[in-house]
Amino acid sequence: MAYEANHVAVRIKGLVAERVPRIDAVAGDARIRDLGLDSVAVMDLVMAVEDQYEVIVPLERLAEIETVDDLIRVVCGLIQGRVVS
């Protein structure tokens, strides 16, 4: 699982970087709002991440996602939940 989590982190940071102009590396502790993504761009990001991993990030869980690492953590949890169930 650790290996996969690492993979997920790299991929999600890539998806964030695609949406932020002029950025070299996305820091895990960067707050998504501070990257200049408005609510529409955040939604687009979340949908792209959902499609990448065939999971659903329920709207009510967005509140707990502030930083890029939060997003990675939530998605890893969802992937694990899918594997378990």
Partner 1 sequence: MSLLSHLSPLRDAYHRLTQAGGDPFDVNFDAILSPTEGVLNGSRMLLLGTNNYLGLTFDPACVASAAQALQMQGTGTTGSRIANGTYGGHRALEEQLARFYGRRSAMVFTTGYQANLGMLSSLVGPGDHIVIDADSHASIYDGVKLSRATVTRFRHNDPKDLSCRLGRLPAGGNTLIVVEGVYSMLGDSAPLAEIAAIKREFGAYLLVDEAHSMGVLGKNGRGLAEAAGVEAEVDFIVGTFSKSLGAIGGFCVSDQQDFELLRLVSRPYMFTASLPPSIIASVSAALDRLQQEPALRRRLSDNARRLHTALVAAGFVISPKPSPIISIQLASPELAIAFWNRLIDAGIYINLALPPATPRGIALLRSSVSAAHSEEQLDRVVDAMVAIAGELGVITPRRRAVSG
The Cα 85–Cα 59 span in angstroms is 21
- H/E run at residue 49: helix 39-53
Q: Is residue 59 close enough to count as binding partner 1 by CB under 8 A? A: yes
- In this chain, which stretch among 2-10, 15-23, 53-61, 69-77 interacts with partner 1, using CB under 8 A? 53-61
Q: Under a CB-based contact definition with an 8 Å cutoff, are residues 42 and 35 in contact?
A: no
The two structure tokens encoding residue 58? 């329920």
Binds partner 1 (CB under 8 A): choice among 3, 22, 38, 83? 38
Binds partner 1 (CB under 8 A): choice among 4, 6, 56, 80? 56
The two structure tokens encoding residue 82? 């899918």
Binding site for partner 1 (CB under 8 A): 38-41, 43, 47, 50-51, 54-56, 58-60, 85
